[in-house]
Structure 1
Amino acid sequence: MKITFLHLLLLSLASFRLTRLLVFDKITEFIRVPFFNEIKEVNEYGEMEVYYVPKEKGVKKFFGELLSCYWCTGIWTSIGIVSLSMLFPDFSFPIIIILAVAGFASIMETIVQFFIEK
């Protein structure tokens, strides 16, 4: 399979968005919860801060460490996206396009927010 620049760009944006979805987004918090302990502390301003620390042992520790590392999760989502793309191109195309468009939109939103807040 020949990968064009456009295909590489779509795969990259899809992987970027899926990684952010798994590591940071509230909508997938239910996936992360079993692998983390929640620690709440009050900061010097009296505001409650919540920290997530990976579980201490076993498989939960492994996945907690993985999900707390954006770069580590990015490697695995990239492997998944590229593999899906190569093994099931017709099935994966809509999924990759949706994730890529969402990834591009999130980058655009970050740029817009930068200029609004400036």
Structure 2
Amino acid sequence: MTTDAARYDDQGEVPLAGYAALASVFAAGAGTFALVARRRGVRLPQEVPPWDVALLGAATYKTARVLTRDKITSFVRAPFTRRSGDGEASEVIDEPRGSGLRRAIGDLVACPFCTSAWTAGALVCSYAAAPRLTRLVCGGFGALTVADWLQYAWTWTQATTTES
């Protein structure tokens, strides 16, 4: 009997059941938030101003990088990944390990793009329930994002002037 994973990729290594479990957790979390928010009378904003979208985006970017690439959060990834190298600016590169759900979680926590969906979901739920607090938290992560870009600009400037 051929499994869905084997039909999906030739090696049969894609943890489709693990991905389905994670997608179910994400959907259940969003649904639970919606139910609890409704019962507690949380009023959703009529609109989300563009500057809040930018702030949420910067915070989503940075939280995903912190969770997937920072050395200090390696303990979160360690059960599901193995260190495969060093990235730029003291970041680390981890690769997923194991199979099934463990591999699926490893894929999630090793990928900043994948983790962004989860962090954006959490920040949007927080924004709906407590916009002022969420703006403050996002402002902090947004400041870190700007600081990262300034660090890269400074490093680039130093490298450019040394080459001349």
TM-score range, shorter chain: 0.7 to 0.9
Does residue 32 (structure 1) correspond to residue 74 (structure 2)? The answer is: no
How many pairs align? 109
Does residue 65 (structure 1) correspond to residue 113 (structure 2)? The answer is: no
CA offset at residue 87 of structure 1?
2.1
In structure 1, distance between residues paired with 2:122 and 2:113: 14
Normalization by structure 2: what TM-score?
0.59
Does residue 92 (structure 1) correspond to residue 130 (structure 2)? The answer is: no
Supply the RMSD in Å over aligned alpha carbons. 2.1
Distance 1:52 1:23, change over 3 A: closer
Structure 1: gaps of 5 or more residues: 41-49
CA offset at residue 69 of structure 1?
1.8
Higher relative CO (Cα under 8 Å, sequence separation at least 6) belongs to: 1
Distance 1:86 1:60, change over 3 A: same
In structure 2, distance between residues paired with 1:94 and 1:39: 35
Normalization by structure 1: what TM-score?
0.79
Which structure features the higher share of strand residues?
Answer: 1
Structure 2: gaps of 5 or more residues: 1-44, 86-91
Identity, % of aligned positions:
24
Distance 1:32 1:106, change over 3 A: same
Displacement over 2 Å in runs of 4+: 37-40, 50-53, 90-94
